[in-house]
Amino acid sequence: MLRFLLLSILLTIAARMFWRLLEGAIEGYTGRSRSARSSDVPARGVQMVRDPVCGTFVVPARAVSLVDGRSHVYFCSDRCRDAYRARTA
């Protein structure tokens, strides 16, 4: 009886280890589950630009932009863009 108990405990531990190994192998093999999850969150590598009017950092793709000479200037809102335009005009 004791032998059976020990054996079952051992089997449980072995099975648990096996599953952990299998899970790791699947995750490593597909490699997609992690990247898919991280794409929901704004990418860490996105360059933030500063709104020269109010100082807020904005993501260029979502910001209001204005071409000033040869460079793009980004703003958090139309109000800031207008203020900048009025200032530079």
Q: Which of 49, 54, 64, 66 binds Zn ion (CB under 5 A)?
A: 54
User: By C-beta, is 12 or 49 nearer to Zn ion?
Assistant: 49
Contact flag: residue 58 with Zn ion (CB under 5 A): no
CB of 67 to Zn ion, least distance (A): 17
* 3-state secondary structure labels for all residues of the chain: CHHHHHHHHHHHHHHHHHHHHHHHHHHHHHCHHHHHHHHHCCCCCCCCEECCCCCCEECCCCCEEEEECCEEEEECCHHHHHHHHHHHC
Q: Which of 63, 73, 74, 76 binds Zn ion (CB under 5 A)?
A: 76
